[in-house]
Amino acid sequence: MALHWKSCFILSLCFPLLAFSRSSSSETFDEELTVRAMRDGKVASRFSFSTLLEGATPRNPQNLSTEDDSQHYTLFPLTLGQILREYAVTELHLTLNAGKWDYERWGYPDEPDVGTGAELWAWMGEGGSTTVDLRTTSPVLAFAPQGGLPDWEHPHAVRHASLPSEHVCTENLTPFLKLLPCKARAGIARLLNPHRLFDADWHGMGLHVVWLPDAGMQVRLTFQSVADPLRPASHRRDWSFASIFDRTIDTTLSPQPASLEADHAVFDLAQQDLPLNVSMRWDVPFLHAAGASEAPLSVRRTLLGPTQDYGMLAVSILNAGPATVRAAYLETMPWIVTFYLHTLVLRVDGELRRASLFPPPLLYSLHSLRSYT
């Protein structure tokens, strides 16, 4: 099916796949694919696979010394569920990305965690004694919980670790697909072709677990990529599922847009039965557009100084938008690098400002967390 537009195009594929019920709780699985053409001619794709374990709650760390109830899942990944229960993890975020996201040309990503390499942060319930791994940090202001935190007697703590040098390869996709109910054999997961995805200008995958107080435990798997469909000879940026992923979706009916606007089309695949190969074609050749940055808030980080022994770190945060933005900046350095905080200089619009330093507490209960956010 060919779609013709001259403006920016966003395609969404929604596929409510499975729903199972058990005596204790029910499980639902939904998947969604969003494809959007960007200003520089590239195409951004985001796969999202969401599994909800309705009515489930995190494990109280006070009960870690006692035997846990047996966990039986139909759609929820068993291996992941066992880890969450074993260590009383309430919220977990793990991302693995390759390349540098170009905020000036591509704007803000659909999934915000696009840092190079591997990054892990989790909110965990602390027991009576606290064990801190020296290889992790607790930046609570930079990593606020995206879901809820149970109001237990013992507080929660956030743990963060990153490894920017971690490389992403096609082998990382195999355990990712094993967490899906149908692996890559059905639905939009059919488009997850490692040879095409890992050959993109940028790609990354993520695992996100949150507790939704009114719903249950949710695990969401994401995969993002930025492909370049431009053909230098013809200056065309036409694309299709077959050209980007080298695959199509095997569905059940002839696809028709569930809703269609000037720049947005939504397809519901629940009733489809024919292979789906959505394509996008432009009537005119592509011309690179020059203009303002797609991301109003930008951050530039520069290392200064003649040597590594006497160096300086300069961070420039620019807000090009009309509204005031509240932002938190997190800097992670290896233990061999020492920051002399008395040399900190802060300028706002070229004027010197006084910098206030304070060490936040390590552990946070639900009450104390609200006072900081």
Predicted confidence at residue 255, as pLDDT, reads 45
Predicted confidence at residue 331, as pLDDT, reads 84
Question: Do residues 162 and 41 both lie within one domain?
Answer: yes
- How many folded domains does the chain comprise? 2
Q: Is residue 184 part of a domain?
A: yes
Predicted confidence at residue 196, as pLDDT, reads 92
Q: Is residue 8 part of a domain?
A: yes
Question: Do residues 240 and 148 both lie within one domain?
Answer: yes
Closest of 53, 94, 59 to residue 74, by C-alpha:
53
Question: Do residues 131 and 190 both lie within one domain?
Answer: yes
Q: Is residue 292 part of a domain?
A: no
Predicted confidence at residue 234, as pLDDT, reads 64
Question: Do residues 230 and 157 both lie within one domain?
Answer: yes
Question: Do residues 25 and 146 both lie within one domain?
Answer: yes
Average pLDDT estimate for 275-279 = 79
Max CA pair span of the chain: 67
Predicted confidence at residue 355, as pLDDT, reads 75
Q: Where among 253, 281, 309 does a domain terminate?
A: 281
The span from the CA of 54 to the CA of 83, in Å, is 18
Predicted confidence at residue 220, as pLDDT, reads 96
Q: Is residue 164 part of a domain?
A: yes
pLDDT at 23 over 70: no
Question: Do residues 225 and 366 both lie within one domain?
Answer: no
Binned at pLDDT 50, 70 and 90, residue 274 comes out as: low
List the domain range (segments joined by +) for residue 348: 297-372
Average pLDDT estimate for 5-9 = 36
Q: Where among 255, 281, 307 does a domain terminate?
A: 281
Question: Do residues 212 and 353 both lie within one domain?
Answer: no
53-107 residue pLDDT tens:
999 999 888 888 888 777 788 889 988 998 998 888 999 999 999 999 998 889 8
Question: Do residues 172 and 34 both lie within one domain?
Answer: yes
Binned at pLDDT 50, 70 and 90, residue 214 comes out as: very high
Binned at pLDDT 50, 70 and 90, residue 22 comes out as: very low
Question: Do residues 181 and 317 both lie within one domain?
Answer: no
Q: Which of the given ranges, 14-28, 195-209, 232-246, 335-349, has the highest pLDDT on average?
A: 195-209
Average pLDDT estimate for 310-325 = 87
Least confident of 40-49, 181-190, 218-227, 361-370: 361-370
Q: Where among 219, 249, 281 does a domain terminate?
A: 281
Question: Do residues 159 and 223 both lie within one domain?
Answer: yes
Question: Do residues 203 and 319 both lie within one domain?
Answer: no
Predicted confidence at residue 223, as pLDDT, reads 96
Average pLDDT estimate for 214-234 = 88
Average pLDDT estimate for 219-225 = 96
Question: Do residues 341 and 273 both lie within one domain?
Answer: no
Q: Is residue 287 part of a domain?
A: no
Q: Whole-model pTM above 0.95?
A: no
The span from the CA of 154 to the CA of 128, in Å, is 7
Q: Is residue 67 part of a domain?
A: yes
Predicted confidence at residue 135, as pLDDT, reads 64
* Higher per-residue pLDDT: 356 or 192: 192
Q: Is residue 289 part of a domain?
A: no
Q: Is residue 138 part of a domain?
A: yes
> Quick one: three-class SS letters along the chain?
CEEECCCCCEEEEEEEEEEEECCCCEEEEEEEEEEEECCCCCEEEEEEEEEEEECCCCCCHHHCCCCCCCCCCCCCCHHHHHHHHHCCEEEEEEEEEECCCCHHHHCCCCCCCCCCEEEEEEEEECCCCCCCCCCCECCCCCCCCCCCCCCCCCCEEEEEEEECCCCCCHHHHHHHHHCCCCCCCCHHHHHCCHHHHCCCCEEEEEEEEEEECCCEEEEEEEEEEEECCCECCCCECCEEHHHHHCCCEEEECCCCEEEECCCEEEEEHHHCEEEECCEEECCCCCCCCCCCCCCCEEEEEEEECCCCCCCEEEEEEEECCCCCCCCCCCCCCCCCCCCCHHHCCEEECCEEECCCCCCCCCCECHHHHHHHC
